Amino acid sequence: MVTAFDHGGGVRSVRVPIPDNPLGHTLVYVVDTDRGPVLIDTGWDDPASWDTLAAGLVACGTTVGEVYGVVVTHHHPDHHGLSARVRDASGAWVALHAADAAIVRRARESRPERWFSYMADKLTAAGAPREHVAPLRAPRGRTVPGLSPALPDRDIVPGELLDLPGRRLRAVWTPGHTPGHVCLHLEEEHPARLPGHGRLFSGDHLLPGITPHIGLYEDPDDATVTDPLGDYLDSLERIGLLSPAEVLPAHQHAFTDAPGRVRVLLEHHANRLSGLLGLLAEPLTPWQLAERMEWNRPWADIPYGSRTIAVSEAESHLRRLVKQGRAEPVPGSGPVAYIAV
């Protein structure tokens, strides 16, 4: 039987499973409003996940058809996947930050071949070996993940209150994990009167036991040199200053002491950046750096898709080091190699 967890003060959560994923589930939050429930995220687009969400809403004393609105923390399919189905079943509005809405629009409009050739070029430039890039050059029968996500009806505007009649839910823009990631600050006293300022729905930005993936923002139409890790670290500091009484993340479990968790993460990233500088005593391409970085298992055991993600993470760290003036590209190297300054 599907149950819902009651966080108090008109907030519940439903654990919606993510098929074949070590994360296990997305916590979809159900916030009561004067016009019906508003969901924070929806979960993966899969029949079993949909059934769980629908049954979870019944356990909350409502139904999918009653949903008034959907606030999506970011465009990833474990958060935005079921938004279209919820909207079809209820007529709810769906809100997303403009930067992530642009990603959704592009995914719907561009042909899969364009995406694959963009990724192939990017990996080649990062120094990936030919055998890693080859499957992207002949992507027959492959589909781009999240190809047809729902176009949102509304933009989430940073700093503004969202349309939750009878509640105070404010959008806090926290780019890094994605360019348009938002946290949602419920500016109401904690139901158990825990010390701090309200409650924060943190999406993938701040989680109790894992660090979110920070790669490069991938946009075939935009050549801007972005610094996602820098964005993420800035966003983390802002969330720490907000000092919410409790954090309600999209994975794992609710927790307190957000400033403490922020400090741990800032320290983790500072240490990791310093560790990478040690590796960059010799010139390394992003791919070579990824091979030498510490992951949750040896490089040889990391499967294909995760290697692509790992290289993107190596690149976001290189961007940060270059921006800090602690590393620089080696002139004339191709693919570009980086070295500590």
List residues near Zn ion by CB under 5 A: 76, 78, 204
Would you say 72 or 164 has its CB closer to Zn ion? 72
DSSP string, 129-145: -HHHHHHHHS-TT---T
Provide φ and ψ at 183, rounded to 5°: -100, 155
Per residue in 136-153, is it b (16+ CB within 10 Å) or e — as a string?
beebeeeebebeebbebe
Residue 284 is classified by DSSP as B
Provide φ and ψ at 295, rounded to 5°: -120, -175
- How, if at all, do strands 338-340 and 327-329 pair? antiparallel
- CB of 79 vs Zn ion, minimal distance in Å: 6
- CB of 78 vs Zn ion, minimal distance in Å: 4
Distance CA 332, CA 327 (A): 16
Distance CA 28, CA 248 (A): 10
Tokens matching residue 207: 């989680």
Distance CA 93, CA 86 (A): 9
- CB of 100 vs Zn ion, minimal distance in Å: 10
Would you say 44 or 50 has its CB closer to Zn ion? 44
Q: 62: which residues sit within 8 A by CB, 6+ positions away?
A: 30, 36, 37
- CB of 212 vs Zn ion, minimal distance in Å: 6
- CB of 283 vs Zn ion, minimal distance in Å: 32
DSSP string, 155-197: EEPTTSBPS-TTS-EEEEE--SSSTT-EEEEE-S--TT--SSS
Would you say 204 or 246 has its CB closer to Zn ion? 204
- CB of 206 vs Zn ion, minimal distance in Å: 12
Would you say 18 or 284 has its CB closer to Zn ion? 18
CA angle 53, 261, 160 (to 5 degrees): 60
Provide φ and ψ at 248, rounded to 5°: -115, 90
- CB of 250 vs Zn ion, minimal distance in Å: 5
Closest-CB residue for Zn ion? 76
Would you say 78 or 246 has its CB closer to Zn ion? 78
- CB of 20 vs Zn ion, minimal distance in Å: 14
Long-range contacts of 132-139 (CB under 8 A, 24+ apart): 132/304, 132/307, 132/308, 135/304, 139/112, 139/113
Would you say 32 or 313 has its CB closer to Zn ion? 313
Distance CA 61, CA 116 (A): 44
Would you say 78 or 313 has its CB closer to Zn ion? 78
- CB of 262 vs Zn ion, minimal distance in Å: 18
Q: 267: which residues sit within 8 A by CB, 6+ positions away?
A: none
Would you say 78 or 227 has its CB closer to Zn ion? 78
